[in-house]
Amino acid sequence: MSLATFDLTPLRRADRWHPAELAFWLLPVAAYLVFPDNLVLLTQIAITALFCLSLDLILGYAGIVSLGHAAFFGFGAYAAGLLAANGIGDPLAGLAVAALASAALGFVTSFLVLRGSDLTRLMVTLGIAMMLYEVANKLTDLTGGVDGLQGIEMTPLLGRFTFDLYGKTAYWYAVAVLFLLFWAARKLVHSPFGLSLKGIRLNVARMPAIGAPVNARLSAIYTIGAAYAGIAGALLAQTTQFVALDVLSFNRSAELMLILVLGGSGSLYGAVIGAIVFMSAHHVLSDMNPEYWQFWLGALLVVVVLFARDGVMGGLRRLSHAAGGLRKGAR
């Protein structure tokens, strides 16, 4: 309302697309041409990137730590998977249902999560995810339990593109969804709503004073994050046509946290880059050394922490600062 009277130019400027960003989004096209045989991996990277983006929204922007984000990923995956296994194989309908289901779950649980300190939040989110895991594990008739949910049949995307063995449709599908949701997230974090979240993360005490309802805002972003995660889960279920119990596992939540921190939380590109770096490293290392790849992956993480605080994005930022400094010095 009264916002209009402020000078919004800096906000608008931040909202504008930088040329480097446009170049970044050409990467999926380049990847498609360069690695035509790795589309399955590339698809899963895109899905992980989307999932990571959802955590970034709540952790990087709103400061809510979570070790149980897989709850929403898995919930969405099962929602889409069960829908398709029961005869409704339209991919987009599946995405919508998964998003709604996960959002509902996120909204309900947000009230539990908003209480307490970081450690408490970590453990409450973890607890919720683990409870869902146990429920899915026990509902063998519905979910297939540890054996996984089978019999998912997808109808062609938009009625035209069938999901093929080489994963071409799956790849473009995942990339398109990622891009659209990234664009939406980008809008969101640059909106007044997004800025109020940043404010809450930086100084909770002061936000009510400027009229921002802290809990309602946090609850809202948590719900949005959950919906994003649900969509990512649904994408995985649809493109692999299988839902494994480990979509809900602690490992998935913890790994996601790693990926985000590795990429750099609090920056949307950090989430995407983290997914690319982590998944590629994982893939390359485990191909080179199927037994002991974890050692090198671990070493990579340690090195990143020691030499590039705040993840890859932090490292990049410092590099560009240094470059900027050099340039200034030269002038």
Partner 1 sequence: MQPRTSIAWVTAALAASALSLAAHSAWAADPLKVGLVLPMSGPFASYGKQIEHGARLYLQQSGGTIAGRPVELIVKDDTGVAPEISKRAAQELVVKDKVDVLGGFGLTPSAFAAAPIATEAKKPMIVMNAAASAITTKSNYVLRVSHTLPQLTAPIADWAVKNGIRKVYTLVADFGPGHDAEAQFKKTFTAGGGEIVGEVRTPVKNPDFAPFLQKIKDIKPDAVFLFVPPGEQTVAFMKGFVERDLAKAGIRIVATGDLTEEDILDAVGDNALGLITSLQYSEVHNSPENAAYTRAYYAAYPKDRPNYMSVSGFDGMQLIARTLEKTGGDVTADKFMAAARGMSWTSPRGSIAIDPDTRDITQTIYIRKVERVDGKLQNVEFDAVANVRDPGKP
Partner 2 sequence: MTVLFDGVASGMLLFLISVGLSVTLGLMNFVNLAHGAFAMVGGYLCVLLLNRVGVPFLAALPLAAGLTALVGVVLERTLYRRLYTATHLDQVLFSIGLVFMSIAAAQFLFGAQQQPLTLPDFLRGQISLPGLDMGAYRLFLILLSLVIAFGLQRLVGGTRFGAELRASVDNPRAARGVGINVERVFTLTFALGTALAGLGGALGVEMLGLDPGFPVKYIVYFLIVVAVGGSGNITGSLVASLILGVLDVAGKYYVPQIGAFVIYAVMVVMLIFRPQGLFGRRAAR
Please, which residue, 17 or 292, has the CB nearer to partner 1?
A: 292
How many angstroms separate the Cα of 143 from the Cα of each of 129, 153, 237? 16, 15, 12
How far apart are alpha carbons 325 and 330 in whole angstroms? 9
In the complex, minimum distance from the CB of residue 214 to partner 1, in angstroms, rounded to a whole number: 38
Residue 118 Cα to chain centre, angstroms? 20
Q: Which stretch binds partner 2 (CB under 8 A): 19-27, 216-224, 231-239, 294-302?
A: 294-302
Of the candidate residues 25, 96, 161, 286, the single one contacting partner 1 (CB under 8 A) = 286
Of 199, 200, 207, 239, residue with least CA distance to 91: 239
Q: Which residue has the tokens 């985000």?
A: 260
For residue 262, the partner it binds in partner 2, partner 1, none, with Cβ less than 5 to 8 A by kind, is: partner 2
CB of 273 to partner 2, least distance (A): 15
Under the binding rule (CB under 8 A), the answer on residue 159 touching partner 1 is no
The verdict on 162 binding partner 1 (CB under 8 A) reads no
Determine, following the binding rule CB under 8 A, whether residue 203 of this chain makes contact with partner 2. Answer: no
Least gap, CB of 325 to partner 1 (angstroms): 43
**Of positions 120, 137, 203, 215, contacts partner 1 by CB under 8 A:** 137
Tokens of 137: 């594990």
CB neighbour class for 290 (10 Å; exposed up to 12, middle 13-18, buried from 19):
exposed
The number of CA neighbours under 13 Å toward the Cβ of 278 is 27
What is the distance between the alpha carbons of residues 175 and 21, in angstroms, rounded to a whole number?
15
Q: Does 165 bind partner 1 (CB under 8 A)?
A: yes
Of the candidate residues 25, 32, 148, 254, the single one contacting partner 1 (CB under 8 A): 148
28 closest CA partner among 187, 169, 183, 179? 179
Q: Is 309 in the site for partner 2 (CB under 8 A)?
A: yes
306: partner contacted, choices partner 1, partner 2, none (Cβ within 5-8 A by kind): partner 2
Q: How many residues bind partner 2 (CB under 8 A)?
A: 44
246 binds partner 1 (CB under 8 A): yes
234 CB burial (10 A radius; 0-12, 13-18, 19+): buried
Q: How far apart are CA 160 and CA 154, in angstroms?
A: 12
Residue 218: CB atoms within 10 A of its CB come to 21
Which of 34, 108, 146, 326: binder of partner 1 (CB under 8 A)?
A: 146
At 195 the three-state DSSP class reads helix
CB of 331 to partner 1, least distance (A): 49
Find the shortest distance in angstroms from Cβ 241 to partner 2.
29
Residues contributing to the site for partner 2 (CB under 8 A) = 112, 115-120, 122-124, 126-128, 130-131, 134-135, 138, 250-251, 254, 257-258, 261-262, 265, 291-302, 304-306, 309-311
